[in-house]
Amino acid sequence: MNAIERARGLLSGVRRLVVLSGAGLSAESGMATFRGAGGLWEGRRVEEVATPEGFQRDPALVWEWYSQRRGQALACRPHPGHEALVAWERRPEAHLVHVTQNVDGLLQRAGAERVLELHGSLFRVKCSAGCPGEREDLRVPFPHPQPCPRCGDLLRPAVVWFHEMLPAGILEEAAREIGSAEVLLVVGTSGVVQPAASLADIALGAAIPVLEVNPEETPLSSLADVFLKGPAGKVLPSLLDS
Ligand code: BJW
């Protein structure tokens, strides 16, 4: 039996599926991943654009970067991998939850309904001084600097930068969903950024089958029940279409 047949066997009869995704899920739509050749971090100091300190130092530079990323995301379209996930989610009696590190909104644009955005969204803004609440903002380019209507401090993208906590309660919710899943499907993440990377440990520790889709091996590949080597846009339709 080959890997795809074994994976399909593990999915057979399953209702509760959690999909833990990363930048690789959006790669075939045209979004750059972060790490590796041609990645967003190549030739760039992460601290400049993806830390609270970087934003304090140069908010205009950071906003410019996120305006470009918004524009890029809006120009992309979901691909057959997203569509296969959403078709599975729409099966009668299916309970599929997406736990995604992606901030590009592509899963939602494909029609996904239950999406936990661990690292926030390119399309929301919040107060950099911590006033509660976030609001949707789809403008490209983003006209900056914009003051928080409550306190006058600067608005910032509602994404999670390094050294920041994830949105309140989201990690616990993701952990609960994974703990009660019948299968965990991990797609397109290098698995190096914490705490998202550790979520797969919950499934491994509870003997919940873990399937991984990625063209490259990751630290999870040798631990997963089935490693499906290949791009999401090809592997997911053949894994999930019945
Ligand atoms: C394909 C494909 C195709 C290609 N099909 N696949 C413990 C130890 C050490 C450090 C830490 C630790 N705990 C916390 C830290 C610090 C830090 C961290 O993890 N650092 C590591 C890098 C070492 N974590 C944090 O700071 C987190 N906060 C936190 O822990 O708070 C507690 C705390 C408070 C105070 C002090 C200290 C701690 C927050 C992390 C936030 C991450 N934010 C970013 C930016 C979001 C906004 C934006 O988009 O600009 O999130 S960084 C970036 O990495 C982004 C991603 O969501 C995240 C993960 O990357 P992802 O998605 O895996 O992408 P890649 O590029 O790495 O991988 C792509 C994969 O796709 C590859 O495997 C390809 O092969 C594959 N692929 N084509 C399928 N077609």
Q: What is the pLDDT of residues 109-139, one digit of tens each?
A: 999 999 999 999 999 999 999 999 999 999 9
The predicted structure's pLDDT at residue 145: 84
Given ligand 1 and candidates 162, 211, 213, which is best to mutate, with the most ligand atoms within 8 Å of its CB? 162
Q: What stretch(es) of the chain map to CATH 3.40.50.1220?
A: 1-30+77-119+166-242
Q: Which two tokens stand for residue 122?
A: 């390119």
Its sign, for the CA torsion 194, 197, 200, 204, is negative
pLDDT tier for residue 18 given thresholds of 50, 70 and 90: very high
Give the closest residue (by CA) to ligand 1 atom 70. 189
Choices 3.30.60.50, 3.30.1600.10, 3.40.190.10, 2.30.40.10: CATH for 32-75+120-159: 3.30.1600.10
User: What count of other Cβ atoms lies within 10 Å of the Cβ of residue 143?
Assistant: 8
Confidence bin at 211 (pLDDT 50/70/90):
very high
Residue type, 45: R
Q: Does the reported pTM lie above 0.95? A: yes
Degrees, nearest 5: CA angle 175-83-230: 75
Which pLDDT value is given to residue 15?
98
State whether CATH 3.30.720.210 applies to domain 1-30+77-119+166-242.
Answer: no
Average predicted confidence (pLDDT) for the chain: 96
Percentage of the chain exceeding pLDDT 90? 93
- So what's the pLDDT on residue 43? 84
Model confidence band, residue 146 (pLDDT cutoffs 50, 70, 90): very high
Residue 189: exposed, middle, or buried by beta-carbon count in 10 A (0-12, 13-18, 19+)? buried
21 lines ligand 1 (CB under 6 A): no
Q: Look at residue 44 in the predicted model and tell me its pLDDT.
A: 83
**Secondary structure percentages of the chain, helix, strand, coil, to 5:** 35, 20, 45
Per the structure block, which two tokens stand in for 39? 């990645």
Spatial distance between the Cα atoms of 182 and 95, rounded to a whole number of angstroms = 10
Give ranges for CATH 3.30.1600.10 in the chain: 32-75+120-159
Q: Is the minimum distance from the CB of 103 to ligand 1 under 6 angstroms?
A: yes
Would the pLDDT of 183 be above 90? yes
Question: Average of pLDDT values for 142-157?
Answer: 94
Q: Which atom of ligand 1 is nearest to the CA of 193?
A: 19
CA of 242 to the centre of ligand 1 (A): 32
